[in-house]
Chain A
Amino acid sequence: MSKYFLVVYVYSIVQANNVVLNGLIDSNKELNMSNMKNNRKLLAALALGVVLVGCQSQPSEEAVDTAAAEVIESGSHDVAGMTDAAVKSEEALAAEAAQALLSLTVFYFDFDQANVMSNSYDALQAHAAFLNSNPAAAIRLEGHADERGTREYNIALGERRAKAVEKFLLVNGVSASQVETISYGEENPAEGGHGEGSWAKNRRVEIVYK
């Protein structure tokens, strides 16, 4: 039963951080506060790390909420796994979670939109934290669009998406010299299909470590 509460507690922290971050995206003056929260946020994300890995791969805005709800419902019969996780040290857990989040390098968008989705925040925060602590590391943000609409407009849209992610990282303390952006528009789809399934996978920004 205590595990159940842990999950709910952790989830609520993640959500709280998301709310804070939502407000932060356009506000540089709250940068320090965001950094302060980073550790707690990572810690919070850790317990849900595995869950988040699953839901991050779903290019849907509702992914986090849905996944969390599933965890809560299945809390009582998912005790074994949680017990193993709980006995690990906080540091080990944090490292694992950060690693899991850092493995997420593709972030999805809605049609004709360039807003970073809330289910991308945690992984982007992890990348920001990594870049903060590794000033020599540098990334290239590659923006993409699905095939619908016109090619040069999609180049512009892909750039907007890459810049939205760049802005998120800069607001979280990453140095501008560590980030470059490029847009491929609809020229390099991740999937070649011509339906919403493929389109959702193609509206994306990819982080490429150089």
Chain B
Amino acid sequence: MHLLKVMMVFFLMQVCVVAQAQLRIEVTKGGDNPTPIAIVPFSWSGEGLLKEDLAGVVAADMGRSGQFKPMARAEMLSQPSVSSEVFYRDWRIMGVDYLVVGRITPVPSSPQASSSVPVYRVNYELMDVRAEKSVASWKIASVTDLRAAAHHISDMVYQKLTGLRGVFSTKLMYISVERDGAKGKVYKLQVADADGQRSQTLFQSTEPVMSPVWSPDGKRIAYVSFATGRPAIYIQNRLTGKKIKLTGFKGINGAPDWSPDGQKMAMVLSKDGNPEIYIMNLKTRDLRRLTHHYAIDTEPRWTKDGASLVFTSNRGGSPQVYKVDVVTGRVTRLTFRGNYNARAQVSPDGHDLVMVHRENEQFHISVQNLQRDLFANLTKTSLDESPSISPNGSMVIYATQHNNKGVLGAVAINGNIKYLLPALRGEVREPVWSPYLN
């Protein structure tokens, strides 16, 4: 049953693959005391060369988590592909704690198959070097997308070793802006793998596109587009590309955020004269106004339980983060440090508030513990914005400036690792981490 599910997912994943790297990764701060792990190159028993280096992708994934330090291939004394070939001593003397080995074999295509897309089987194992034993072994019975297979392997290994579900098979959505001589600026809404590879354009316009957000199941997205000359909120099917205009009221139509149950959309409308938070029932399109204040109320984000929203308001004189109970409408202030705290998101476990925070005239990504009075800046750069928490709560992706260009940055929520994802062309911003997609 599980294998069937994995197979189906992988077949779906290869539907629209674009082999073009849009983002690359530059690690700016390594993890503290990462666990040494060796991802041995997987053996391949078929003909020719594979298009993807599976073990290389897994090693990069593990390294990017900040919790593991993958061993350089040049240092490996041997390259086993099954546990029976492993000499634990070879790895122990190199200081490796864990070992991943695997083999890829071709799956003969059935005579009825019309396409000639190669199909692979992958067997892989995780070993504990000190205990000298196999921890787990897995099999992917049939897969065409080797990069997706690699990210899946990373997820399995990561979860086995940390107890936390991996986010290597998730995706990142973001806005890119490129200058096109004839058209001026071109805004593209793009989706890439969590490692920044294989970006695809979901929507593009010569007018601003902003505030993208995922549906809880990851199948649909919502965003604000100025394509008609005025802002409007759109919902688009990620796979078919079909889109509908959800709102087009007078004034602001902004900051959409899907409720955790997928039934409602929080948004900001200024149709009544002032930016206020509304909740729209997506079935009936009924609107309910949640805030009533002459100040700016914006950037609503649902808490995981769907019972409340955090939002930004300058009702106290400067932008601060507040929480509103969806049922009672009761508003409580959450941030008190400094005079600019905005675009907050509550972590999946409900413990932390991640936000944009101004300190010494600089805008950082910061985290505030909601139970105890703990506060920390996750970034040190000055124009950081648009934080988005990974679905397992371990990482935050955000937008920043690097070499005078808009780039994406990622940082562990415990500050353990930091890396940048600059675009190969143009500028990128407003990253949003997808939910788990399988």
Interface, chain A (partner B; CB < 8 A): 112, 147-153, 155-157, 159-160, 181-185, 187-188, 194
A159-B342 in contact given A147-B383, A150-B356, A153-B298 (Cβ < 8 Å): no
Q: Is B63 an interface residue, CB under 8 A from the partner?
A: no
Residues of B within 8 A of A184 (CB): 208, 226
A181–B270 CA distance with the chains assembled, in angstroms? 11
Residues of B within 8 A of A148 (CB): 363, 383
Q: Which residue of B lies closest to A184 (CB)?
A: B208
* The residue from B208, B319, B342, B343 contacting A187, defined by CB atoms under 8 A apart: B208
The 0/1 profile, CB within 8 Å of A marked 1, for residues 329-369 of chain B is 00000000000101100000000000010100001000000
Residues of B within 8 A of A152 (CB): 210-211, 254-255, 268, 298-299, 312, 343
Measured CB to CB, the closest approach of chain A to B324, in angstroms, equals 16
* The residue from A112, A150, A188 contacting B312, defined by CB atoms under 8 A apart: A150
Q: How many residues of B contact A (CB 8 A)?
A: 32
Interface, chain B (partner A; CB < 8 A): 208, 210-211, 226, 230-231, 251-252, 254-255, 268, 270, 275, 296, 298-299, 312, 314, 318-319, 340, 342-343, 356, 358, 363, 383, 385-386, 401, 404, 430
A153 touches B312 (CB 8 A): yes
Q: Which residue of A lies closest to B319 (CB)?
A: A153
A150 touches B386 (CB 8 A): yes
Secondary structure type dominating chain B contacts: strand
B252 touches A153 (CB 8 A): no
A149 touches B363 (CB 8 A): yes
Residues of B within 8 A of A112 (CB): 314, 318-319, 340
A-B contact count (CB 8 A): 78
Residues of A within 8 A of B226 (CB): 184, 187
A157 touches B208 (CB 8 A): no
Secondary structure type dominating chain A contacts: mixed
Measured CB to CB, the closest approach of chain A to B92, in angstroms, equals 50
A156 touches B385 (CB 8 A): no
Q: Can you list 11 contacts pairing A with B, beta carbon distance less than 8 Å? A: A148-B383, A149-B358, A150-B342, A151-B385, A153-B343, A155-B275, A156-B298, A159-B251, A184-B226, A187-B210, A187-B226
Q: Which of A150, A182, A184, A194 has the most CB of B within 10 A?
A: A150
* The residue from A147, A159, A188, A194 contacting B252, defined by CB atoms under 8 A apart: A159
* The residue from A153, A159, A188, A194 contacting B270, defined by CB atoms under 8 A apart: A159
A156 touches B252 (CB 8 A): yes
